[in-house]
Amino acid sequence: MTQPHSPASFATRAVHAGRDDLTELGVHVAPIDLSTTYPAADSAAEAMRMDEFAAGAQPAGSPIYARLHNPTVARFESALAELENAEASVAFASGMAAMTACLLAASQGNQKTHVVAVRPVYGGTDLLLNSGLLGTNVTWVDADKVAAAIQPDTGLVIVETPANPTLTELDLAQVAHACGDVPLLVDNTVATPVLQRPLEHGASIVLHSATKSLGGYGDVVGGIVACSETFARGLRSVRIATGGILHPLAGYMLLRGLATLPIRVRHASENAHELALRLQADERVAHVYYPGLNADRPGTNQMSGGGSLVSFETVDDAKDVVLGVNLITPAVSLGSVDTLIQHPASLTHHVVNSDDRAACGISDKLLRLSVGLEDVDDLWADLDQAL
């Protein structure tokens, strides 16, 4: 569980969340607990605590075994829950491990194996939902058809806004209303809690690929889900059974990343907005997708900035632009301090059926730019010569 929410500003909480007890401990930096096992001399007492862990609780005392609980990971969980204004959060070894756990927890014990989803979403999520690996079946709909698609066995509605890679935005309050009693899961990876907090707009569950902006430096893989304590218990039960817990070193690095998250996201957003304007004015670019370019858009009041992603369609072959950049790195992922560019139809969304890709706006001429913290004029010079 997270600590009671502080009245301090978001930037201040980002620095101090998960670190409230460091002065009491006599340290300045959060410690890393790398233990895989812990002393458990009183077998009878530990058996009772094992039952609590298995039920998804977080009992005080020894973690017993690292797959059940880790104090360093718990610090990151507490901090992210505070920043998303959630009761709890649960961290996983990757964003896809987090999504898998959400699907399993939503259907656990109630046979609610149907999912309603709105494209586009991250390509890995699309693949997982369509694969049937977890016994789920999915109905893909436009956002205004969510209510009509819900069935008695629907356990989740899944959306991503802004969506990867088209940056399509959804009005979360409207979607949440359409969901009724069905939990709404929002992938908030692109916006981050700096720019958007979906629970404040009616969502039940918020998922992040922590690999992206939360980590921020391209050197850690992780996933995390912010939600109610009730749903968190289901997630922890799944995590214990499947072994998907975040490594403590990753938990430490992600907690460290949160301290600079507001500064990084806001500066990257400024760069992205400026690049979007320049791309929009360039005759070599057919179309630009960026939330800040359209004042009359769904969910305008949800986000306090446009974010660090810009997507655009080229007039000529988009792949030639990827081949032509020098300063910008041709690579998947997003949210790093350095700028990345990739061709979604070939990489992140190649796993999506070509007809489905086209239907949700992922054309062969679409490029996705994850804007970093470099000087914006240097970034534009590289894009200009590549175009």
Number of C-beta neighbours around residue 138 at 10 A: 20
pLDDT by residue, tens only, the chain of 387 residues: 444 455 689 999 999 999 999 999 999 999 999 999 999 989 998 999 999 999 999 999 889 999 999 999 999 999 999 999 999 999 999 999 999 999 999 998 888 999 999 999 999 999 999 998 999 999 999 999 999 999 999 999 999 999 999 999 999 999 999 999 999 999 999 999 999 999 999 999 999 999 999 999 999 999 999 999 999 999 999 999 999 999 999 999 999 999 999 999 999 999 999 999 999 999 999 999 999 886 666 666 799 999 999 999 999 999 999 999 999 999 999 999 999 999 999 988 988 888 889 888 899 999 999 999 999 999 999 999 999
Q: Coil, strand or helix: which one is 272?
A: helix
**Cα–Cα distance for residue pair 309/108, rounded to 1 Å:** 35
pTM: 0.95
- The residue to which tokens 């096992």 are assigned: 37
Q: Coil, strand or helix: which one is 340?
A: strand
Which amino acid, residue 112? K
**Cα–Cα distance for residue pair 348/124, rounded to 1 Å:** 8
Please say whether the beta carbons of 223 and 96 come within 8 A.
yes
Q: Which two tokens stand for residue 221?
A: 């893989």
In degrees, to the nearest 5, what angle opens at C-alpha 243 toward C-alphas 240 and 248? 95
Domains of the chain: 10-258 (3.40.640.10), 261-386 (3.90.1150.10)
Backbone angles phi, psi at 378, to 5 degrees: -65, -40
DSSP string, 93-150: SSHHHHHHHHHHHHHTTT---EEEE-S---HHHHHHHHH-TTS-EEEE--GGGHHHH-
Backbone angles phi, psi at 349, to 5 degrees: -120, 20
Report, as residue numbers or ranges, the catalytic residues. Answer: 67, 122, 187, 212
Which residue blocks in the chain are alpha helix, DSSP H? 10-16, 22-25, 43-54, 71-83, 95-107, 123-131, 146-149, 172-179, 192-195, 229-242, 248-280, 318-324, 354-359, 376-386
- Collect all residues with Cβ–Cβ distance below 8 Å to 19 and sequence separation of at least 6: 30, 75, 79, 255
pLDDT at 296: 62
